[in-house]
């Protein structure tokens, strides 16, 4: 099976750059599974998980992104994300605490942060496949 080159870029640095088998990207209207030969798409992203699978369909890396953009063409997939964290570095209790704090605050800014924090919580609680 062919591979597709995948770049995950944040404003501060290039986080991931390798040839992989499949990437699952959290598009604004729903998750996109990107395989080699995908049609050309430009999508904005919602806060959610970016899952990277190797050619033999094992999970390589999983990230949480707080939004951004994806540019996909048959050979390459580029994700521009504003804040990127590895999924296994997230801690459930601290996120719950954050949600609680933000919930009591009612500014527009914290509303946005709240939705990101909720998406974070969802990202670590909802199950995913280690192998597809």
Partner 1 sequence: MPSLKDIKTQINSVGSTRKITSAMKMVAASKLRRSQEKAEAARPYSSRLEEMLASLASSAASGEGIIKLLTGTGNDQNYIIVPVSADRGLCGGFNSSINRETFKLVKSLEGDGKNVQIMPLGKKSRDFFNRVMKDQIIESFVDLNISNTGYDSALQVSNKLQELYFEEKFDKCILVFNKFKSAISQEVTKQQLIPLDVSNPSKEENADDSSAKAIYEYEPDEETILKDLLPKNVSIQIFKVLLESDAGEHGARMAAMDNATRNAGEMIDSLTLKYNRTRQAFITKELIEIISGAESV
- Residues in contact with partner 1 by CB under 8 A are 7, 9-14, 27-29, 32, 39-44, 67, 69, 71, 78, 80, 82
In the complex, the smallest distance separating the C-beta of residue 93 from partner 1, rounded to whole angstroms, is 24
**Token pair 């919602």 in the structure block, residue:** 46
40 versus 125: smaller Cβ distance to partner 1: 40
76 versus 118: smaller Cβ distance to partner 1: 76
11 versus 33: smaller Cβ distance to partner 1: 11
In the complex, the smallest distance separating the C-beta of residue 84 from partner 1, rounded to whole angstroms, is 11
Interhelix angle 92-104/108-125, nearest 10 degrees: 150
Contacts of 89 (CB under 8 A, 6+ apart): none
List of E strands, the chain: 4-9, 14-20, 22-27, 30-34, 41-45, 48-53, 59-65, 68-73, 76-81, 84-86
55 versus 115: smaller Cβ distance to partner 1: 115
In the complex, the smallest distance separating the C-beta of residue 13 from partner 1, rounded to whole angstroms, is 4
In the complex, the smallest distance separating the C-beta of residue 11 from partner 1, rounded to whole angstroms, is 4
Q: For residue 15, what are the CA distances in angstroms to 80, 83, 85, 120?
A: 10, 11, 10, 19
């Amino acid at each position: 099976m062919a591979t597709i080159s995948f770049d995950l870029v944040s404003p501060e640095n290039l986080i991931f750059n390798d040839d992989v088998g499949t990437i699952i990207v959290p598009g604004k209207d729903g998750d996109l599974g990107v395989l080699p030969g995908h049609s050309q798409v430009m999508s904005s992203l919602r806060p959610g998980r970016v899952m990277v699978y190797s050619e033999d369909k094992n999970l390589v890396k999983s990230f949480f992104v707080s939004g951004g953009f994806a540019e996909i063409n048959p050979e390459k997939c580029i994700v521009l994300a504003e804040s990127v964290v590895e999924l296994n570095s997230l801690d459930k209790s601290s996120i719950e605490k954050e949600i609680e704090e933000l919930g009591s605050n009612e500014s527009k800014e914290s509303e946005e942060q709240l939705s990101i924090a909720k998406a974070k919580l969802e990202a670590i609680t909802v199950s995913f496949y280690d192998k597809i």
